[in-house]
DNA sequence: CGAGCAACCTGCATGC
DNA sequence: TGCATGCAGGTTGCTC
Protein backbone atom coordinates (compact mmCIF):
# COMPACT_ATOMS: atom_id res chain seq x y z
CA UNK A 1 0.00 0.00 0.00
CA UNK A 2 2.10 2.87 1.14
CA UNK A 3 4.45 5.10 -0.69
CA UNK A 4 4.99 8.64 0.51
CA UNK A 5 1.63 10.01 -0.66
CA UNK A 6 -0.24 7.26 1.17
CA UNK A 7 1.79 7.91 4.32
CA UNK A 8 1.16 11.65 4.04
CA UNK A 9 -2.56 11.07 3.47
CA UNK A 10 -2.63 8.87 6.56
CA UNK A 11 -0.78 11.49 8.59
CA UNK A 12 -3.18 14.24 7.59
CA UNK A 13 -6.12 12.00 8.35
CA UNK A 14 -5.13 10.99 11.87
CA UNK A 15 -3.52 14.22 13.07
CA UNK A 16 -6.64 16.21 14.02
CA UNK A 17 -7.88 13.31 16.12
CA UNK A 18 -4.78 12.65 18.17
CA UNK A 19 -2.86 15.90 18.64
CA UNK A 20 -3.10 17.13 22.23
CA UNK A 21 -4.73 13.86 23.21
CA UNK A 22 -3.41 11.58 25.89
CA UNK A 23 -2.77 7.89 25.37
CA UNK A 24 -4.93 6.00 27.81
CA UNK A 25 -4.64 2.38 26.79
CA UNK A 26 -2.65 0.28 24.35
CA UNK A 27 -3.60 -3.18 23.19
CA UNK A 28 -1.05 -5.27 21.34
CA UNK A 29 -2.57 -8.39 19.84
CA UNK A 30 0.41 -9.28 17.67
CA UNK A 31 3.88 -7.99 18.35
CA UNK A 32 5.68 -9.90 15.59
CA UNK A 33 6.13 -7.12 13.06
CA UNK A 34 9.30 -6.29 11.09
CA UNK A 35 10.90 -6.08 14.48
CA UNK A 36 9.05 -7.38 17.52
CA UNK A 37 7.23 -4.58 19.30
CA UNK A 38 9.17 -3.92 22.49
CA UNK A 39 7.46 -5.09 25.68
CA UNK A 40 8.29 -1.62 27.04
CA UNK A 41 6.25 0.20 24.41
CA UNK A 42 3.10 0.23 26.54
CA UNK A 43 4.85 1.62 29.56
CA UNK A 44 6.70 4.25 27.58
CA UNK A 45 3.62 5.45 25.72
CA UNK A 46 0.92 5.27 28.36
CA UNK A 47 -0.23 8.64 29.74
CA UNK A 48 1.82 10.44 27.11
CA UNK A 49 0.24 13.29 25.18
CA UNK A 50 0.82 13.55 21.44
CA UNK A 51 2.27 17.03 20.94
CA UNK A 52 2.93 17.02 17.21
CA UNK A 53 2.81 14.62 14.31
CA UNK A 54 5.35 14.52 11.51
CA UNK A 55 6.51 12.44 8.60
CA UNK A 56 10.09 11.61 7.69
CA UNK A 57 10.30 9.60 4.50
CA UNK A 58 7.72 6.89 4.92
CA UNK A 59 7.91 6.96 8.70
CA UNK A 60 5.14 8.53 10.76
CA UNK A 61 6.39 10.32 13.85
CA UNK A 62 4.08 10.92 16.81
CA UNK A 63 5.97 13.15 19.22
CA UNK A 64 5.20 13.18 22.92
CA UNK A 65 6.79 14.85 25.94
CA UNK A 66 9.39 12.14 26.35
CA UNK A 67 10.04 10.86 22.86
CA UNK A 68 8.55 9.77 19.56
CA UNK A 69 6.48 6.85 18.40
CA UNK A 70 7.85 5.79 15.01
CA UNK A 71 5.42 3.96 12.77
CA UNK A 72 6.24 2.40 9.43
CA UNK A 73 3.48 0.83 7.35
CA UNK A 74 5.71 -1.55 5.42
CA UNK A 75 4.00 -3.01 2.35
CA UNK A 76 0.52 -3.62 3.69
CA UNK A 77 0.20 -1.53 6.85
CA UNK A 78 -2.63 0.83 7.58
CA UNK A 79 -3.69 3.21 10.35
CA UNK A 80 -7.27 4.13 10.96
CA UNK A 81 -9.27 6.34 13.27
CA UNK A 82 -12.20 4.42 14.68
CA UNK A 83 -14.82 4.60 17.36
CA UNK A 84 -13.60 2.89 20.50
CA UNK A 85 -15.98 -0.04 20.37
CA UNK A 86 -15.07 -1.25 16.88
CA UNK A 87 -14.37 -4.97 17.03
CA UNK A 88 -10.90 -6.01 15.88
CA UNK A 89 -10.56 -8.09 12.74
CA UNK A 90 -7.82 -10.36 11.57
CA UNK A 91 -4.50 -8.46 11.24
CA UNK A 92 -5.60 -5.61 13.52
CA UNK A 93 -2.40 -5.83 15.55
CA UNK A 94 -2.32 -2.72 17.72
CA UNK A 95 -4.94 -0.38 19.22
CA UNK A 96 -4.06 2.94 20.84
CA UNK A 97 -6.90 4.54 22.79
CA UNK A 98 -6.86 8.29 23.37
CA UNK A 99 -8.50 10.49 25.99
CA UNK A 100 -11.05 11.83 23.46
CA UNK A 101 -12.58 8.40 22.79
CA UNK A 102 -10.56 8.01 19.63
CA UNK A 103 -9.09 4.67 18.69
CA UNK A 104 -6.01 4.60 16.47
CA UNK A 105 -5.77 1.10 14.98
CA UNK A 106 -2.75 -0.41 13.23
CA UNK A 107 -3.50 -3.16 10.72
CA UNK A 108 -0.86 -5.00 8.71
CA UNK A 109 -1.45 -8.39 7.06
CA UNK A 110 2.13 -8.92 5.92
CA UNK A 111 3.67 -7.56 9.13
CA UNK A 112 6.52 -5.76 7.35
CA UNK A 113 5.71 -2.61 9.26
CA UNK A 114 7.12 -1.39 12.56
CA UNK A 115 6.16 0.43 15.75
CA UNK A 116 8.81 1.65 18.12
CA UNK A 117 9.15 4.29 20.77
CA UNK A 118 12.33 6.32 20.55
CA UNK A 119 13.17 8.38 23.62
CA UNK A 120 14.64 11.79 22.85
CA UNK A 121 15.37 13.03 19.36
CA UNK A 122 14.22 10.56 16.71
CA UNK A 123 16.18 12.01 13.79
CA UNK A 124 19.36 10.59 15.29
CA UNK A 125 17.86 7.13 15.40
CA UNK A 126 19.62 4.64 13.07
CA UNK A 127 16.40 4.14 11.09
CA UNK A 128 16.25 7.83 10.22
CA UNK A 129 19.72 9.28 10.44
CA UNK A 130 20.93 8.01 7.07
CA UNK A 131 17.89 9.16 5.09
CA UNK A 132 18.35 11.54 2.19
CA UNK A 133 16.45 14.80 1.72
CA UNK A 134 12.68 15.12 1.66
CA UNK A 135 11.46 15.49 -1.92
CA UNK A 136 9.86 18.88 -1.21
CA UNK A 137 12.82 20.37 0.61
CA UNK A 138 15.24 22.77 -1.04
CA UNK A 139 18.02 20.26 -0.33
CA UNK A 140 16.53 18.13 -3.06
CA UNK A 141 17.49 20.11 -6.15
CA UNK A 142 19.03 19.44 -9.58
CA UNK A 143 22.59 20.22 -8.55
CA UNK A 144 22.35 17.92 -5.57
CA UNK A 145 20.95 15.10 -7.68
CA UNK A 146 23.54 15.54 -10.41
CA UNK A 147 26.39 15.49 -7.91
CA UNK A 148 24.94 12.48 -6.10
CA UNK A 149 24.63 10.54 -9.37
CA UNK A 150 28.16 11.31 -10.44
CA UNK A 151 30.00 8.15 -11.56
CA UNK A 152 27.28 5.84 -10.27
CA UNK A 153 26.56 2.87 -12.50
CA UNK A 154 23.34 1.67 -10.97
CA UNK A 155 20.11 2.09 -12.98
CA UNK A 156 18.42 5.46 -12.52
CA UNK A 157 15.28 3.74 -11.28
CA UNK A 158 17.18 2.15 -8.43
CA UNK A 159 18.98 5.44 -7.83
CA UNK A 160 15.79 7.45 -7.30
CA UNK A 161 14.25 4.68 -5.18
CA UNK A 162 17.29 4.73 -2.89
CA UNK A 163 16.34 6.39 0.41
CA UNK A 164 19.74 8.00 0.67
CA UNK A 165 19.16 9.82 -2.65
CA UNK A 166 15.69 11.10 -1.80
CA UNK A 167 13.02 9.67 0.46
CA UNK A 168 9.56 8.64 -0.55
CA UNK A 169 9.92 7.43 -4.14
CA UNK A 170 8.72 3.83 -4.25
CA UNK A 171 8.14 1.47 -7.13
CA UNK A 172 4.91 2.97 -8.48
CA UNK A 173 6.02 6.58 -8.50
CA UNK A 174 9.55 5.82 -9.71
CA UNK A 175 8.03 4.03 -12.70
CA UNK A 176 5.69 6.93 -13.42
CA UNK A 177 8.35 9.60 -12.99
CA UNK A 178 10.70 7.93 -15.45
CA UNK A 179 7.94 7.68 -18.04
CA UNK A 180 7.00 11.33 -17.59
CA UNK A 181 10.63 12.44 -17.87
CA UNK A 182 11.19 10.10 -20.85
CA UNK A 183 14.22 8.57 -19.19
CA UNK A 184 14.86 4.86 -19.69
CA UNK A 185 14.79 3.18 -16.26
CA UNK A 186 18.01 1.26 -16.94
CA UNK A 187 20.07 4.39 -17.68
CA UNK A 188 23.14 4.39 -15.43
CA UNK A 189 22.63 7.20 -12.91
CA UNK A 190 26.04 8.66 -13.69
CA UNK A 191 25.02 9.23 -17.30
CA UNK A 192 22.23 11.64 -16.40
CA UNK A 193 22.86 15.16 -17.60
CA UNK A 194 21.91 18.31 -15.70
CA UNK A 195 18.80 18.82 -17.73
CA UNK A 196 17.57 15.33 -16.89
CA UNK A 197 18.32 15.86 -13.21
CA UNK A 198 16.31 19.04 -13.35
CA UNK A 199 13.37 17.21 -14.92
CA UNK A 200 13.64 14.39 -12.39
CA UNK A 201 13.47 16.75 -9.41
CA UNK A 202 10.58 18.68 -10.89
CA UNK A 203 8.65 15.56 -11.87
CA UNK A 204 9.20 13.72 -8.60
CA UNK A 205 7.78 16.72 -6.77
CA UNK A 206 4.90 17.05 -9.18
CA UNK A 207 3.89 13.39 -9.14
CA UNK A 208 4.14 13.07 -5.38
CA UNK A 209 2.18 16.25 -4.70
CA UNK A 210 -0.53 15.33 -7.18
CA UNK A 211 -0.79 11.89 -5.61
CA UNK A 212 -1.15 13.48 -2.18
CA UNK A 213 -3.87 15.77 -3.50
CA UNK A 214 -5.68 12.74 -4.93
CA UNK A 215 -5.50 11.02 -1.55
CA UNK A 216 -2.89 8.48 -2.60
CA UNK A 217 -3.08 5.52 -4.93
CA UNK A 218 -5.49 2.67 -4.33
CA UNK A 219 -4.21 -0.53 -5.89
CA UNK A 220 -5.83 -3.44 -4.12
CA UNK A 221 -7.12 -2.05 -0.94
CA UNK A 222 -5.53 1.20 0.18
CA UNK A 223 -7.97 3.37 2.04
CA UNK A 224 -7.05 6.38 4.11
CA UNK A 225 -7.49 6.73 7.83
CA UNK A 226 -11.21 7.27 7.38
CA UNK A 227 -11.72 4.32 5.05
CA UNK A 228 -11.79 6.35 1.84
CA UNK A 229 -9.73 5.14 -1.12
CA UNK A 230 -7.19 7.26 -3.00
CA UNK A 231 -7.77 8.20 -6.59
CA UNK A 232 -4.30 8.64 -8.04
CA UNK A 233 -4.38 5.24 -9.73
CA UNK A 234 -6.57 6.89 -12.35
CA UNK A 235 -3.58 9.06 -13.25
CA UNK A 236 -1.07 6.23 -13.54
CA UNK A 237 0.35 6.18 -17.06
CA UNK A 238 2.41 3.01 -17.14
CA UNK A 239 2.59 1.26 -13.76
CA UNK A 240 0.79 -2.07 -13.97
CA UNK A 241 0.21 -1.66 -17.71
CA UNK A 242 2.95 -3.79 -19.26
CA UNK A 243 2.01 -4.98 -22.76
CA UNK A 244 -0.63 -2.29 -23.21
CA UNK A 245 -0.09 0.63 -25.59
CA UNK A 246 2.05 3.58 -24.54
CA UNK A 247 -0.23 6.57 -23.84
CA UNK A 248 2.02 8.73 -26.04
CA UNK A 249 2.99 6.58 -29.03
CA UNK A 250 0.89 3.36 -28.73
CA UNK A 251 3.95 1.11 -28.78
CA UNK A 252 3.40 -1.82 -26.39
CA UNK A 253 4.86 -0.97 -22.97
CA UNK A 254 7.71 -3.26 -21.99
CA UNK A 255 8.32 -4.90 -18.66
CA UNK A 256 11.59 -5.74 -17.01
CA UNK A 257 12.92 -6.29 -13.51
CA UNK A 258 15.28 -3.83 -11.90
CA UNK A 259 16.70 -4.85 -8.55
CA UNK A 260 13.96 -7.44 -8.36
CA UNK A 261 11.14 -4.91 -8.78
CA UNK A 262 8.81 -4.93 -11.72
CA UNK A 263 9.46 -2.02 -14.07
CA UNK A 264 7.30 -0.81 -16.94
CA UNK A 265 8.51 1.57 -19.63
CA UNK A 266 8.01 2.63 -23.22
CA UNK A 267 10.92 1.41 -25.35
CA UNK A 268 10.35 4.24 -27.84
CA UNK A 269 9.62 7.28 -25.65
CA UNK A 270 12.14 6.59 -22.88
CA UNK A 271 15.87 6.89 -23.60
C1' DC B 1 33.01 0.79 -0.14
C1' DG B 2 29.14 -0.74 -3.59
C1' DA B 3 26.31 -4.24 -5.86
C1' DG B 4 23.20 -7.96 -5.57
C1' DC B 5 19.89 -10.34 -3.38
C1' DA B 6 17.66 -13.12 0.51
C1' DA B 7 14.78 -12.33 4.12
C1' DC B 8 10.77 -10.81 6.67
C1' DC B 9 4.97 -12.25 5.84
C1' DT B 10 0.06 -12.95 3.96
C1' DG B 11 -3.22 -12.65 0.26
C1' DC B 12 -4.43 -13.09 -4.20
C1' DA B 13 -4.30 -14.39 -9.16
C1' DT B 14 -3.06 -17.91 -12.20
C1' DG B 15 -2.28 -22.39 -14.04
C1' DC B 16 -2.46 -27.29 -13.80
C1' DT C 1 -12.11 -27.93 -5.96
C1' DG C 2 -7.37 -28.25 -4.50
C1' DC C 3 -2.68 -27.43 -4.69
C1' DA C 4 1.65 -25.26 -6.26
C1' DT C 5 3.66 -21.18 -7.92
C1' DG C 6 4.70 -16.49 -8.36
C1' DC C 7 3.98 -11.87 -7.38
C1' DA C 8 2.74 -7.51 -4.57
C1' DG C 9 3.06 -0.80 -2.40
C1' DG C 10 9.40 -1.59 1.58
C1' DT C 11 13.66 -1.92 3.83
C1' DT C 12 17.39 -4.12 6.32
C1' DG C 13 21.24 -6.67 6.46
C1' DC C 14 23.67 -10.40 4.71
C1' DT C 15 27.54 -12.02 1.21
C1' DC C 16 30.72 -11.16 -2.28
- pLDDT for A218: 67
Give the closest residue to B6 (Cα–C1′). Answer: A260
Q: In what order do the strands lie in the sheet with A92-98?
A: A23-28, A92-98, A102-107, A78-83
Instruction: List Cβ neighbours of A24 (8 Å cut-off, separation of 6 or more).
Output: A46, A47, A97, A98, A99
- pLDDT for A214: 85
pLDDT tens per residue across span A43-71: 999 999 999 999 999 999 999 999 999 99
**For the segment 81-110 of chain A, residues whose CB is within 7 A of strand B:** 90-91, 109-110
Long-range Cβ contact pairs of A229-233 (< 8 A, separation 24 or more): A230/A5, A230/A6, A230/A9, A232/A5
Average pLDDT estimate for A142-170: 94
**For the segment 131-190 of chain A, residues whose CB is within 7 A of strand B:** 152-154
Question: Which nucleotide in the DNA or RNA is closest to residue A217, CA to C1'?
Answer: C9
pLDDT tens per residue across span A79-128: 999 988 889 999 999 999 999 999 999 999 999 999 999 998 899 899 99
- pLDDT for A220: 60
Question: Which nucleotide in the DNA or RNA is closest to residue A260, CA to C1'?
Answer: B5
- pLDDT for A221: 55
The beta strands (E) that lie in chain A are given as 23-28, 52-56, 59-63, 67-72, 78-83, 92-98, 102-107, 114-119, 254-258, 261-265
What's the Å distance between residue A116 CA and nucleotide C2 C1'?
41
- Candidate from A107-116, A177-186, A211-220 with smallest mean pLDDT: A211-220
Is A261 catalytic? The answer is: yes
Amino acid sequence: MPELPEVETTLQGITPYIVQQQVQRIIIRESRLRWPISPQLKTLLKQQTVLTTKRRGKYLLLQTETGTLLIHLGMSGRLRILLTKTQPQKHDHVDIYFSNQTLLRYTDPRRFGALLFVPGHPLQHPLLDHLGPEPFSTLFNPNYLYAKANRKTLPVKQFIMDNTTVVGVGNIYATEVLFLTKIHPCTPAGQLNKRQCHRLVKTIQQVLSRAIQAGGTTLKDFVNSHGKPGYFQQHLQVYGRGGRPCPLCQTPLQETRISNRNTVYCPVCQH
